[in-house]
Amino acid sequence: MVSGGGAAGTPAVVIAAPSSGSGKTTVATGLIGALTRAGHRVAPFKVGPDFIDPGYHAVAAGRPGRNLDPNLVGAHRVPGLFAAGSRGADIAVIEGVMGLFDGRIADDADDGAMPTGHAHGSTAHVAALLGAPVVIVVDASGHSQTLAAILHGMRSFDTDVDICGVILNRVGSPRHEHVLRQACDRVGLPVFAVLRRAPELVVPSRHLGLIPAAEHGGAAQTAVAAMTELVAATADLSAIVAAARARTPRPAAAWSADDEIADARERLGLSAPQRPVRVAVAGGAAFTFGYAEHAEMLAAAGAEVVTVDPMNDRLPPGTDALIIGGGFPEEHVHALAANTPMLADVAAHARSGRPIHAECAGLLYLAHDLDGHTMAGVVDVRGHFGPTLTLGYRDAVALTDSALFAAGDRITGHEFHRSTVEAIGPIDHAWAWRKAGVVHRDGVAAGTVHASYLHTHPAGAPDSVARLVATAAAAAEGEDRHDGDVGTVLPCLDQSLT
């Protein structure tokens, strides 16, 4: 095995591109796999809120893929989350998002301010926060000598970002490669790899991007192996490792779930539960979206975390709280609807006053029905899958006290869905935010049920994790039971958003 340094100073390389669609995921996943095969302990990361790419990274690395998103967790947490996530690794590979300097659009931010040449939450922003070098992946299919000007512009645009080399992707011929290498030489950037066009590497996708690795099963393993072979066959791994080690990320104290929960309890005046609280987290093929830090923070708060597959399982005995995150319930709606014992368990859990936290796909699962298929009926809404994509960060304020948030709490979350919901009962929204001068409302907080379209990162909202576990512990001890029907809820979007 290759030896390496401590987690706080783990060498890293950021895989970026001039634009989306350049092949970052193929290159990053293949590089992770090639380095792992060569004996390195690789820590994989993804810039931004994406849940899907980290799943492929995890297959390649044999350890969880993690996200670095300044919008969701705050820029101040990014170095610590990197240090914690790279513990035990000798190199980290960080896949960027969109183009190198693309991030949150200024009109969506409260103040619209950009501190440097990069947008907030962009790949460049994260690279600058960490002090990590950047490798540019170029989709060479439409490039020739002008590539030199593009690379020159990217290098000079933001002096906080250190571009250290190029990977040429989708190169057509030896002559094409020669011209592109000349362009890179002209601006003094080494070429670390040249990847030929390989349509067999295309991973099946659908309406929201790649199919999650957890759903894709053996085909995901095959795709990752092919990416690894492609990169390993042409990449100068030693040069990439040397570039990473030449500018080791600045040391930072590793983020700690225990510290976050301890601080949250102190702020909220909460004590640790007297016994472990059993928290069931939805998994399986229908619910694949989640951040690795969530289970770590739940455990730090005193939870025993168990995974349950709503397509095949029953709610585990003694479940004190239920978390249903994002995913693709519309792709598995028949199996979800067919598991009527689980649907009944979830409805009974809600009626008992034990908390449920549902995000996006979880909201649809709690609905009365999804495109005519009976769901849990915990919230009075019908879900519909449609053609319109709702996407973007939201600076939201909590409108109602709940098992996770207090009215007035502020958080940045992310929407990413092609479904809408139609209210069939009273509206009691959980969130509000302003976009383009218009106030939008989303979700519901009814009793101990909190459901909305908004994806949140628990590291950016530690108080919500501490509150959830405390509420579950109180309900289990019989101190805060809610009798009757808590399911008279919610359209999660105003009509203006549907």
* Eight-class DSSP state of 464: H
Within 10 Å of residue 352's Cβ, how many Cβ atoms?
Answer: 16
Q: Cα dihedral sign for 307, 310, 316, 319?
A: positive
Within 10 Å of residue 138's Cβ, how many Cβ atoms?
Answer: 25
What ranges make up the beta strands (E) of 57-188?
A: 66-68, 91-95, 134-139, 163-171
Nearest to 181 by CA among 190, 172, 92, 173: 190
Choosing from 164, 184, 360, 492, which is the catalytic residue?
360
The DSSP H or E segment spanning 379 is none
> Rounded to 5 degrees, what are φ and ψ at 393?
-80, 150
* Three-class DSSP category at 404: coil
Q: How far apart are CA 340 and CA 329, in angstroms?
A: 15
Q: How far apart are CA 449 and CA 487, in angstroms?
A: 8
360 catalytically annotated: yes
Question: Are the beta carbons of 279 and 298 closer than 8 angstroms?
Answer: yes
Q: How many CA atoms lie within 13 A of 464 on its CB side?
A: 23
DSSP state string for 418-441: EEEEEESS----SEEEEETTEEEE
Active-site amino acid positions = 360
